[in-house]
Structures are given as structure tokens and as C-alpha cells.
Structure 1
Amino acid sequence: MNMQNAQAVVIGQVVSTVLYNRGRGVVFAIHGEQKPASVGSLSGVVSYGGNATFDIAFECGKISRALPESILHGRQWSIFPEIKTAEEVQHVVDHAMAEEHREAEKHEAEEQQYRAECQRFKTAPEYSALSQDKKGAVQVTGNIRKELKAKFPGVKFSVRKRSYDSISVNWTDGPTEEQVREITVKYRDSYFDGMQDMSVSCSSPFNEIYGGVGYVFIDRDYSDAMKQQAIGILMIKYDHLLDGEDISVARYNTGELWRIRQDYFGHGHGIHGEINKILAVITA
């Protein structure tokens, strides 16, 4: 579609866009010769043509520079007949410039703080045993293993690389999942955002020095001795509900106990689910 009726834009022209929450703005500079009659679009999506570019200051405090003429005349922009005076234009530009400067200073301060935190972590004595090599999941695997060994001596952990971006941690008895997660959570440097259908970075200064991955899976198991202890507690508490049913570690391990007394402990839970609850309590 060719936009034969498109008019040339002037300094002070009020425009607006739905993009990036910019809203209303004013054109304060035009670069090159305008050719609005050459502007068109393909299927109402891809814009083409034009020659000039435009600098626009927005009332929200943002600035767009060198916006192509084809984009300004596109579907996501509106051009209004209202023309601001030179003083009004300058007021909007000054406000936007001040906001731009403030944002730049804020960004620089955050960058300086980030770099300072990186340096602090690099020399932090509590992490002196950890690797600072840039080896991705391999580095994270080794560092988590070292931290867990130091924090929970005597507990055997299995810390394995599952993929380039994920680690799994498994152990029997010992600390709770919450206690282990206090160590592993700082190694996560990204997460999946279902709303955007993409991975989003949440990297920290700690990750810059000691590594990070997107996923750290933790899974605590229980020894047969601990399961037997939980079964003993269950049999004392609910003996009247068992009707001589064989409640054993072997049946727990094979998953048979899920179907026992679902009428009392809830569908999908049964005796197995109640044993899990007892295990969580006695091993907390």
C-alpha cells in the first residue's frame, strides 16, 4: 500500500507510539529530505520508503533518535496536526534530556556497584576454596560439591552435570532440601519466563566469579533405616486403620503403599504419602 496522502512532518509536530510505553512526543530535529509519498507497507506489517530520520522527545522522559521516516508513518505511530511552539518543544526536550542524563548516571552507579561486588566476591575469604575458572556447569558442579562437603561433613552428596546449563544434587538423609537450597540457589543465573517464552538472565556478581547455570535440581532420599523409623511411628499412630496390612520398607520402595487407605489419607497419597510426611518431620 502506497501512502500518497502522507504529509511532511515539521519541527514541533506532536506524535505518539504504542511501542515501549513511550506515548506522546514531539519532533525536535529532522535529518535529510522527507519523501512521505514513497512510504508504504507490505501486508500492513513491513514498512518501506522514505528518506529522512527524526529525533523525538517524549513527555515520559524518553528520546528516540534517527527514527526512519517509514517507521514514523507506520501503523504503530500516530502523527497529529498539533504543532508545539519552540518554547514548548524545548521544555519537552529539556525534560527528556534531564531524564536521560539521570538514567545514565543511575546505570553507571549500578555498574560501579556491580564491579565492586565482583571484586569483593573474588577476594571473599569464605569462598577461597572455590574455583574462579570460567568453565560453566563444570565449574558450578565442583563449587557446589566443595560447599556442601564443607557445610555438611559426613554426608555423601552426588553432584552431577546434567547438561550445559543444569546440575543435579542428590543425597540420603542428612540436611533438609531447604538447607541445601541455601547453598545452591546462588548458582542460578537465569530462569525461564513462561509469559515471554524465553530464558531471562538473573546473573549476579557471585555468578561472574564462581559460575552459574539455569537449573539446579535437588532431591533428598531417605535410607531404609529412616523409612523404617517413620513406618514405626505411623503404625503406632494409625494401627486402628491398618487392619493387619503389611506396611514394610520393601512395599514403600516399590510404591505399593500409595493405594493403601486413600479413602482416609487422600486420593493419590495413601499410606505412602503419610510416611513421606512423617519422614519430613523426623528429618527436619
Structure 2
Amino acid sequence: MEREAFSMPESIISMEDDTIRVGQLVYSGNLFSQEYGIITAIHGEQTHPQGFGLVLNTTKMAELDIVFSSGERSYHVPENVIRHLPWKLFGNTFSASEIENAIHFAEARDQRKAIEKEAAKAKFIAEMERLRKEYPQLLVAADETDHRKRAAKNMRILLKQFKGCKFSVRTDDNSIRVSWMDGPTVPQVNEIINAFKAGNFDGMTDSYEYQESPWNELFGSAMYVFSDRGYSEDLLKRSVVYLWKRLPGNLHGIPQPENPAEVFTMTPRQIPELNMTFGEAVNSLAYQFDCLNSRYVRAYGCSGGFLIPESEAEAA
């Protein structure tokens, strides 16, 4: 079990009066730091300021230093913040030796974190050097200072491996969109271009979380990367032919359309005895066909979910 800066008292008691003391037990109650702590120092005189939470008061007030159970430390926390929800003050007070032990615990944690940070930095730099040697053809900041433009240019370089396919790589304020017709499958292209994503949007916090990486630092990045593959009439026709070949029982008595676009407006719309439409099935088959190598590459990701049997698909 991971150690803590101090041991919690057997029972938590309420404050006897309104005066905050060094060694007093406090609870942060914040959304991302719900943790108990010890007040280790008080700067200035307490004025019992009015106000709620983070609402500042112009009255001069005391500021407090706190060591939390994890070893995290907060310095000069305003008195009016500590006195209001979601914070809580308790009547428990730790001894001088317990306060000193908590501070030593926090100092040791800080030293350990500093060593880990330096090691991570060295590892980061080493990985950048390795990538630079492995991909000498790609542009770096010295070649293109704008990180998004640099990412787009490097995408174009890497996508040249799909010989015979023309890609459109366009940038806007915070994204890069790659589009092409037929050619490789979406997962094959995403494996290359998604490396240039700067992070991900977190729906839980309704915010974008950047994830720094040696690749992005060297070769550029964008907040969002989109792939958009178009299907030609020939590819859709191949998918229609395959569908009628694979499902002779389900499609018995239903004529195969000569124009593949007709599958998107067919009546009935649903494939008999299957929970998908003709259009979804055809789109899903096209999604899994690698036109450059004339093979199916089994892959999830397209609406309808009509998967190619493993026996008929080659590994990507």
C-alpha cells in the first residue's frame, strides 16, 4: 500500500472555535483533489473574511501552507478559501513531530518527483533523436516553424507510400483533414495520420487534453485529424457483387441492381433477416477493401458492421 504523509486520527472532531491553528486537519473537497491535509504554516493575521469559496475579499487576510496525505503541498492558500465549502476544517490537531514528519515526507516526494522528471526528460530527448534518425525525410521545426503546417507536410511525405493514390491534405485553424478516393482503407491511413494528433477531447471534463510526445514535438501536430475516404462507382459495384454472392439465402428473389447507387434507395431498405440496410452493408464492404492491393482488410469502423470473414481477408 502506498505510504501517506500522516496517519488519520481514529475519529474526526468538529472545530471548537473559529480560530485556525497550525497542525489542524483540513479537507480540500475539490473535484480533482478530495484529500485530507495538515496546516503547516499560517502567514499573516486571521481576519475571518466574508465571502464564499473562491470569491476574493479585499480585506487583508491570512494565508496557509498545507501538506496533503499524498505529499502534495499547497502554499499561501487564502484564508477565505479554507473557511468555505468545499473545504472543511476540523478540530483535530497534529503534534509538532507529526507536522515535521509530514513536511519531510513531502520534501522526499518532491525530490523523487524531480528525479523522475529529469529521467522522463532524458528519455523524451533520446526518443526524439531515435525518431530523427529513423525518419530523416520528415520536416522538423528548422524546416517549418508552424507545427500544424509541418504536420500536414509530413503527412503528405508519409502518404506517398500508398503509390498510385492521390491524397488531399488540408489544414484549418485547429485541424487537418485527409481525403482520397478508393486507394487504401481508412484504418491503413489512420495508422499514419493519427500519430500527428496533439491530444484528445475529454467529454467528461468538456476540455481538450494535450498529450506531448517526441513525435509531435519533432514532426508537428494538430488538435484534430480527420480522414475522409470516397468510394468510386467501381468500388461500390464490387461491393454489391460481393454482397449478393455472400448472402444468396437472404437476397433470394431480390435482383442485384446494375447501378450500385440504387442499393441506397432500395425497397425493402433492410436486408431480410439482418439488422442492417443494403447501403450500410455495401459501405461496410467498400470500407474494408484495399484498392491498391485488390484485397479485403478486415476492419471495424463503418456503419453496418458487415465484417469480411477472416478466411477471406488478409491482415493489414
Superposed CA offset, 1:219-268 (max 9, x none): 22333333333333334455673646460235348x324x4451516466
Answer yes or no: is 1:148 the counterpart of 2:155: no
How big is the shift at 1:16? 2.2
Superposed CA offset, 1:42-75 (max 9, x none): 5x66253452222222222121111222222222
Q: For residue 264 of structure 1, what is the aligned residue in structure 2? A: 272
How big is the shift at 1:276? 3.0
Answer yes or no: is 1:28 the counterpart of 2:37: no
Letter paired with 1:140: A
Contact persistence 2:240–2:260 (CA under 8 A):
no
Letter paired with 1:25: G
Identity of aligned residues (%): 29
Q: Following the alignment from structure 1 to structure 2, what is the Cα–Cα distance between the partners of residues 269 and 142?
A: 39
Q: Could you say which structure has the higher strand fraction?
A: 1
Superposed CA offset, 1:121-144 (max 9, x none): 3x3242424354122332222211
Letter paired with 1:68: P
Give matches, 1:114-153, under 5 Å.
Answer: 114-121=124-131, 123-132=132-141, 133-149=144-160, 151-153=161-163
Q: Following the alignment from structure 2 to structure 1, what is the Cα–Cα distance between the partners of residues 148 and 54?
A: 42
The correspondence for 1:73, drawn from 74, 83, 86, is: 83
Q: Which moved more, 1:237-246 or 1:219-228?
A: 237-246
TM-score norm. by structure 1 comes to 0.82
Q: Following the alignment from structure 2 to structure 1, what is the Cα–Cα distance between the partners of residues 35 and 140?
A: 48
Q: For residue 224 of structure 1, what is the aligned residue in structure 2? A: 233
Q: For residue 273 of structure 1, what is the aligned residue in structure 2? A: 280
Q: Following the alignment from structure 1 to structure 2, what is the Cα–Cα distance between the partners of residues 60 and 126?
A: 42
**Against the structure 1 CA distance between its residues 131 and 192, is the aligned structure 2 distance closer, same or farther, given a 3 Å change threshold?**
same
Answer yes or no: is 1:165 the counterpart of 2:174: yes
Q: Could you say which structure has the higher helix fraction?
A: 1
Contact persistence 2:25–2:90 (CA under 8 A):
yes
Contact persistence 2:35–2:69 (CA under 8 A):
yes
Superposed CA offset, 1:57-104 (max 9, x none): 222212111122222222232222222221121112211221222222
Q: Following the alignment from structure 1 to structure 2, what is the Cα–Cα distance between the partners of residues 195 and 94?
A: 36
Q: For residue 209 of structure 2, what is the aligned residue in structure 1? A: 200
TM-score norm. by structure 2 comes to 0.75
Letter paired with 1:61: G
Q: Following the alignment from structure 2 to structure 1, what is the Cα–Cα distance between the partners of residues 61 and 240?
A: 80
**Against the structure 1 CA distance between its residues 71 and 276, is the aligned structure 2 distance closer, same or farther, given a 3 Å change threshold?**
closer
The correspondence for 1:82, drawn from 61, 81, 92, is: 92
CA RMSD of aligned residues (A): 2.8
**Against the structure 1 CA distance between its residues 34 and 278, is the aligned structure 2 distance closer, same or farther, given a 3 Å change threshold?**
closer
The correspondence for 2:191, drawn from 176, 182, 187, is: 182
How big is the shift at 1:278? 3.7
**Against the structure 1 CA distance between its residues 183 and 11, is the aligned structure 2 distance closer, same or farther, given a 3 Å change threshold?**
same
Report the number of matched residues: 271
Contact persistence 2:236–2:260 (CA under 8 A):
no
The correspondence for 1:98, drawn from 108, 111, 129, is: 108
